Amino acid sequence: MKTPIFTGSGTAIVTPLSAGTIDFDAFARLIEDQAAGGTAALIVCGTTGEGATLTPEEHEALFRFAAEKSAGRMKIVAGIGSNDTAAALDMARRAEQTGADGLLMVTPYYNKTTQAGLIKHFTYVADRTALPIIVYNVPSRTGVGVAPETYAKLAEHPNINAVKEASGNIGQFARTVALCGDGLNFYSGNDSDTVAMMALGAKGVVSVASNIVPEAVSRLCALCLAGDYPAAAALNREYMDLFTALFWEVNPIPVKTAMAMTGLCSGEMRLPLVPMGEAHKAAMAEVLAKHGLLAKENM
């Protein structure tokens, strides 16, 4: 059995920006909010953190800053994914030097590859890093998905620790868990799937919503880990409107818009991401107001 990097709520934390550069003061405040909210891990420079438009130097700076500010209170998982295996390895080696506890590695996008290629891609990096790897499966973005049989093969590698499963295919996930047993740890990659996936054995979630409601997502995971699924389901129903709203447009456009409305950060993004559409923005304000999250100046 592989020891999970974390259990419970992991936040796919945004990268706050100001005038095109990283706003480290805002990032520090977000880290403190996450620690206070019971978050178990910070996933830095993932999809929500706009890792695809950050330079290698910015990645490294964010990994190091998060590790230093967390000071052991939360695990730090560094996003290193690339469609270039050599580039992913380079980022893994950078992450090793910053105090990160693990790596999040997405399936290669655009050039994609086969199932055999996925095995080689992940094992190539796993053979050459000391940090445990979380395989990130999000076929809606990358155009390639990991088959259950491929997971079973990856589970044989001692340094491939876990999976962030964001396919939304619960039936396929159940089959994967049955095939892999204790060979991999699993995390939900979608807030709306967390309860179902934890009921099937997932250890927690890599969450977008916890950027805004860390306490609620942490509590949701705690209820699941305690086996209180009726209470978890009730809490899930309470926040389903927010979970849904955060994916009305391409992530992280909605969550950064919501965070600007709640006063957590500026909401600035890098191209090709653009501001949220006005209709969705107005509807987002209604959802946030319902949950008492809207900053006073936006009410």
pLDDT, one tens digit per residue, over 45-60 is 999 999 999 999 999 9
- Whether cis (ω within 30° of 0) applies to the bond prior to 272 is yes
Average pLDDT in the 79-102 region?
Answer: 97
- Report the domain count for the chain: 1
Average pLDDT in the 262-271 region?
Answer: 96
Which one of 69, 136, 151, 281 is the catalytic residue? 136
222 in a structural domain: yes
261 in a structural domain: no
Q: Is it the case that residue 298 has pLDDT exceeding 90?
A: no
Give pLDDT, residue 297: 62
44 in a structural domain: yes
**Residue 131 CA neighbour count, 13 Å, CB half:** 27
Instruction: Give pairs for 120-125: CB < 8 Å, separation 24+.
Output: 120/85, 121/85, 121/88, 122/154, 122/157, 122/160, 123/154, 123/157, 123/160, 124/85, 124/89, 125/80, 125/85, 125/88, 125/89, 125/92
Paired with 211 in beta bridges are none
Average pLDDT in the 236-242 region?
Answer: 98
Q: Please state, rounded to an integer, the average pLDDT across all residues of the chain.
A: 97
Distance CA 65, CA 215 (A): 23
Which one of 75, 164, 203, 281 is the catalytic residue? 164
Percent of the chain with pLDDT over 90: 98
Question: How many residues does this entry show for the chain?
Answer: 299
CATH of residue 161: 3.20.20.70
- pLDDT confidence tier of residue 93, bands split at 50, 70 and 90: very high
DSSP string, 222-273: HHHHTT-HHHHHHHHHHHHHHHHHTTSSSTTHHHHHHHHHHTSS-----TT-
Where in the sequence is the domain holding 32, given as residue range(s)? 8-228
The total of other beta-carbon atoms located within 10 Å of residue 141's CB is 15
Q: Is it the case that residue 43 has pLDDT exceeding 90?
A: yes
145 in a structural domain: yes
Q: Is it the case that residue 293 has pLDDT exceeding 60?
A: yes
262 in a structural domain: no
Instruction: Give pairs for 119-126: CB < 8 Å, separation 24+.
Output: 119/150, 119/153, 119/154, 120/85, 121/85, 121/88, 122/154, 122/157, 122/160, 123/154, 123/157, 123/160, 124/85, 124/89, 125/80, 125/85, 125/88, 125/89, 125/92, 126/157, 126/159, 126/160
The continuous run of DSSP H or E covering 204 comes out as: strand 204-207
Segment 59-88, tens digit of pLDDT: 999 999 999 999 999 999 999 999 999 999
C-alpha separations of 14 from 113, 173, 200, 251 in Å:
28, 27, 28, 10
43 in a structural domain: yes
Q: Is it the case that residue 1 has pLDDT exceeding 90?
A: no
* Helix extents (H) in the chain: 24-36, 56-70, 85-96, 115-126, 139-142, 148-154, 170-180, 194-199, 214-225, 229-245, 253-262, 278-290
250 in a structural domain: no
Segment 110-129, tens digit of pLDDT: 999 999 999 999 999 999 99
Give pLDDT, residue 299: 52
Q: Is it the case that residue 296 has pLDDT exceeding 70?
A: no
pTM of the model: 0.97
Segment 130-174, tens digit of pLDDT: 999 999 999 999 999 999 999 999 999 999 999 999 999 999 999
Average pLDDT in the 203-207 region?
Answer: 98
164 carries an active-site annotation: yes
112 carries an active-site annotation: no
295 in a structural domain: no
